[in-house]
Amino acid sequence: MFKIVHREELGQGTVILNEIEAPLIAKKAKPGQFVILKANETGERIPLTMADTNLEKGTITIVYMIIGRSTATFADLKVGDSFMDVIGPLGRPTHLEKVGKVVCVGGGTGVAVLHPITRALKEIGNDVTAITGARNKDLIILEDLMTKASNTLHICTDDGSYGHHGFVTDILKEKIENEDIKMVVAIGPVPMMRAVAEMTRPQGIHTLVSLNPIMVDGTGMCGCCRVSVGGETKFACVDGPEFDAHKVDFGELMLRLHSYTEMEKQSYAKFKGEK
Amino acid sequence: MADTKNKPGRVSMPEQEAKVRAHNFLEVPEGYTLQMAQEEAARCLHCKTPLCTQGCPVGVLIPDFIALLVKGDITGAARKIWERNALPAVCGRVCPQENQCEGNCIVGKRGEPVAIGNLERFVADWERENGSGQLPPHEPKTGKKVAVVGAGPSGLTVAGDLIKKGHDVTIFEAFHKPGGVLVYGIPEFRLPKAIVGQEVHFLERQGVTINCNSVVGKCISLDELFEEGFDAIYVGVGAGLPRFMGLPGENFIGILSANEYLTRTNLMKGYDFPNYDTPVPQGKKVVVLGAGNVAMDSARTAMRMGAESVKIVYRRSREEMPARGAEIHHAEEEGIELCLLANPTKYIGNDEGRLVGMECLKMELGEPDDSGRRRPVPIKGSEFIIECDLCIVAVGSGANPLLTGETPDMELNRRGNVVAEPGSGKTSKKGVWAGGDIVSGAATVILAMGAGREASNSIHRYLTLGW
Ligand SMILES: Cc1cc2nc3c(=O)[nH]c(=O)nc-3n(C[C@H](O)[C@H](O)[C@H](O)COP(=O)(O)OP(=O)(O)OC[C@H]3O[C@@H](n4cnc5c(N)ncnc54)[C@H](O)[C@@H]3O)c2cc1C
Ligand SMILES: Cc1cc2nc3c(=O)[nH]c(=O)nc-3n(C[C@H](O)[C@H](O)[C@H](O)COP(=O)(O)OP(=O)(O)OC[C@H]3O[C@@H](n4cnc5c(N)ncnc54)[C@H](O)[C@@H]3O)c2cc1C
Ligand code: SF4
Ligand code: SF4
Ligand code: FES
């Protein structure tokens, strides 16, 4: 069993952090990789990126936004409770390289996914600027960790309640215009990743995104996670989840994420009713 | 046919009525009673040179077990089957008997063959429900450790054999439940999951350790397994890579591989949504591409999930359909339509990216191709549209590279299957054996088990004598 040893509520309780005992996964995990979790016998298999790992304690950390039945079920688990199944590490690790100036852009819980990548890019000697965004001050997560993980951190809020008033792409634009940016990593909601991709495309700045299609097994046996990259079909769980942003068909990804919207609503309503 | 009149026909197994069963997930054939089983068993001639046994890939001693059944020694009959076949309750249900044991039965030359599969199923079910549950004898512990990768029929066979020979066995399974295709692919109404669960539990009672959630190649490599002290490894990871047709529009919502569709319904129990959390697409007008067992299972599942119509689209004719005759028959009884000599050319979607139809071409049969089957040739200008909101692609599966890609010193063939020595299952990597679908390509349960049996014999020789 995979016991929760630490739990935090972030962003006014909209986002949950769980540190889970999983020594074998912690030993193997690299930045950019994810796990699949199932809370109980009747649960769904849900992919979440590892935001951190601790080798000595044998733990992994996940950070997730409560948006539906499964994440709400996860959020109800307390310290001492266990996930029934945790599988990983899955996916390819981020290809880490010393290139010079790097910008890491994160939105929503994408910041959690971005954290280990940002830290690793800095550790190998890149000059890393991190830009994170949220709708308002209360929804900002992992500010301390991101400050440590990067050389410079910029925070943006849509309503101006904290940091820069505006979008993460505003700051990114400034950076691109004034500095010799070699690489950009963007992780967050699909529209944000698409906007970043469009911004770096003209200069041909190498841009990585981490895609979040719906998954089942996470081992390449079902094809549920298909995404179109450079006109080819890829399975995000084994070929990704990171891809060259300039080649990704974001429109298709956005549509496919709505495959089960009606049933998801039904399932979440039932869950809330039972509580 | 005057002759067959004097010979009673086979005792038919009661089945759920088609109209009823097309809406539930309960098993279709309901099983023999003891009386029915013994009546059917009495039809066996107890041949001196039993052709039936020659037709069985693992050589079950058929007349011997049938004789014990006739005498009323059902436990003895079960033991007799177990000598050759570790999963008779499964094989009795899913083996293509018409091409194997029953296809060879001498009684079948003049009439209907002895219902060997049904009898095997009866004996195994009876023993499971009424038997003592006594464990088979084990040889003294050898202190050797074997890792089995993949808990499908092939891996389970190896585990069962080697634990009896005194070795320690640990199974590593990627999914959260053991059983392979038996739990994620073959539907509940053909193979109740409780049966697979009990077979697995039987191994655990004998001391086999099962580590689920262990994706070998990702969580741990083969070399790391050796470092952890395993003396030999068996790779039985199956044919887990779905094939798609590469048609325009293939990523519209509502187009799923059979692997995904069946995993969602069977393994994740999506047919019981929302009591189980995993959604399964609710197609009203469903098309299934392909005509093998997997296609039949997908089509029959879609019907049970509430479809208004289910069509199987296949480019050849009925004769070439690779599925078992009994399965095609069951599917048609349940209202599934066959749309033969038709080949899809593209998918049609709406502006939400959802599937609304499929364009197909009519085909006609031309000259025989390499496989000896008449080649389907498209008829020019014969395009037509099938309206559909769910398409399940069941056109085969290949070798999943997840583990093999991480194991460069294990030789693969052109198609990505592991190369293993016939008869022993030895791979090019020292201390590693392989068998089942990952070696043969997608085949059958009994062949996967047969390969497991050969490998376990070879592994035992290695652990006692050397490579
Ligand atoms: C590789 C990967 C890494 C991810 N990492 C994170 C992370 O670190 N933090 C985080 O908050 N979220 C992450 N996600 C997204 C997360 O998996 C979904 O938010 C979660 O599955 C929603 O489940 P739900 O039942 O609560 O919501 P639901 O109501 O079921 O679904 C809400 C939306 O989530 C998506 N979704 C639903 N089921 C799945 C599924 N099985 N697999 C993937 N997406 C699904 C769909 O777009 C759906 O419309 C990641 C996704 C992927 C593929
Ligand atoms: C829908 C369907 C219907 C079928 N119907 C019939 C039938 O009626 N009769 C018949 O005889 N045959 C049938 N077959 C074929 C039969 O099921 C297979 O030939 C048989 O299951 C192969 O056994 P196996 O042990 O080689 O592999 P599998 O049963 O595929 O098992 C392999 C196991 O390995 C696991 N695995 C994969 N990769 C890894 C990894 N890296 N690490 C750890 N574990 C891993 C998988 O999760 C799986 O559990 C059917 C197949 C399908 C898909
Ligand atoms: S294992 Fe299969 S082929 Fe062999 S006797 Fe049993 S049903 Fe027939
Ligand atoms: S061939 Fe038929 S009749 Fe002969 S032993 Fe086998 S089952 Fe009995
Ligand atoms: S999630 Fe099944 S292939 Fe990627």
Residue A68 has pLDDT above 80, yes or no: yes
Work out whether strand B355-368 and strand B342-349 pair parallel, antiparallel, or are unpaired.
antiparallel
Atom in ligand 3 nearest the alpha carbon of residue B58: 4
Burial class (CB within 10 angstroms; exposed 0-12, middle 13-18, buried 19+) of B362: middle
Considering only CB atoms, B273 lies closest to which of A38, A45, A263, namely: A263
CB-based contact B313:B386 (threshold 8 Å) = yes
**Lowest-pLDDT choice from A47-61, B361-375, B399-413:** B361-375
pLDDT tens digits for B76-121? 999 999 988 989 999 999 999 999 999 999 999 989 999 999 999 9
- pLDDT at position A275, please? 78
Query: What share of chain B has pLDDT > 90, as a percent?
Result: 87
CA of A170 from ligand 1 middle (Å) equals 27
pLDDT tens digits, one per residue of B443-461: 999 999 999 999 999 999 9
The answer on pLDDT for B371 being more than 90 is no
A18 lines ligand 1 (CB under 6 A): no
Distance from CA of B234 to the nearest CA of A (A): 19
Give, using CA atoms, the residue closest to atom 1 of ligand 4. B105
Sheet with B337-339: list strands edge to edge: B255-257, B390-393, B285-289, B309-313, B337-339
CB B378 within 8 A of CB B362: yes
What confidence score (pLDDT) does residue A138 get? 87
Question: Two tokens at A240?
Answer: 């990704």
CA-nearest residue for atom 29, ligand 1, is A68
Percent of chain A with pLDDT over 90: 81
In this model, does residue B137 exceed pLDDT 80? yes
Average pLDDT over residues B299-319: 95
CA-derived radius of gyration, chain B: 23
* CA proximity to A191, closest of A164, A225, A167, A162: A167
Quick check: CB of B117 below 6 Å from ligand 4? Answer: no
Helix residue ranges, H only, B397-444: 401-404, 437-440
pLDDT in tens, B321-359: 999 888 899 999 999 999 999 999 999 999 999 999 999
Task: Tokens for B436, please give them.
Answer: 């089942």
- A residues 36-55 closer than 8 Å to B (CB): 38, 42-45
Atom of ligand 5 at shortest distance to CA of A236?
A: 4
Using a CB-CB cut-off of 8 Å, the residues of chain A touching B220 are: 24, 28
For residue B52, the ligand closest to its alpha carbon is 4
Q: Region B164-175: what's the mean pLDDT? A: 96
Using a CB–CB cutoff of 8 Å, tell me whether A67 touches chain B: no
How far apart are the C-alpha atoms of B34 and B122, rounded to whole Å? 8
Residue B2 pLDDT more than 80? no
CA of A149 to the centre of ligand 2 (A): 44
pLDDT for the residue numbered A73: 95
Window 214-243 of A: residues touching B by CB (8 A cutoff) are 216-217, 219-224, 226, 228, 233, 238
Query: For all residues of chain A together, what is the average pLDDT?
Result: 93
The arithmetic mean of pLDDT across residues B243-258, rounded, is 96
Nearest by CB: A42 against B213, B276, B281 = B276
Q: Does residue A198 have a pLDDT over 70?
A: yes
Q: Which two tokens stand for residue B23?
A: 């809406």
Task: With a cut of 60, say whether residue B6 has pLDDT above it.
Answer: no
Distance from CA of B368 to the nearest CA of A (A): 33
> What is the average pLDDT across A135-144?
88
Cβ contact A28–B215 (<8 Å): no
Residue B272: closest C-alpha in chain A: A42
A167 vs B391, which has greater pLDDT? B391
pLDDT at position B7? 56
Query: What is the SS3 assignment for A32-52?
Result: CCEEEEECCCCCCCEEEEEEE
Q: Is A151 exposed, middle or buried (0-12, 13-18, 19+ CB in 10 A)?
A: middle
Mean pLDDT of A222-243: 96
Residue appearing with tokens 């033991």? B79
Picking from B234, B75, B243, B37, the residue whose alpha carbon sits closest to that of residue B155 is: B234
Q: Note whether B312 and B358 are within 8 A (CB).
A: no
What pLDDT does residue B52 have? 96
pLDDT in tens, B212-237: 999 999 999 999 999 999 999 999 99
Q: Is B292 in the pocket of ligand 2 (CB under 6 A)?
A: no
| B4 pLDDT above the threshold of 80 | no
Query: Is A255 near chain B, with CB under 8 Å?
Result: yes
Closest chain B residue to the Cα of A220, Cα to Cα: B241
B110 in contact with ligand 4, CB cutoff 6 A: no
CA B452 to ligand 2: nearest atom: 25
Chain B, 175-204: which have a CB under 8 Å from a chain A CB? 175-176
B115 CA → ligand 4 middle, Å: 10
CA B331 / ligand 4 centre spacing (Å): 29
What average pLDDT score do residues B190-211 get?
A: 94
pLDDT surpassing 80 at residue B467: no
Rounded to 5 degrees, what angle do the CA atoms B47, B49, B54 make?
110
Give the mean model confidence (pLDDT) for residues B177-195.
Answer: 95
Rounded to whole angstroms, the Cα distance separating B406 from A98 reads 25
- When mean pLDDT is compared across A10-14, A225-229, B159-163, B437-441, the lowest value belongs to A10-14
> Would an 8 Å CB–CB cutoff place B219 in contact with chain A?
yes
Residue B94 near ligand 2, beta carbon < 6 Å: yes
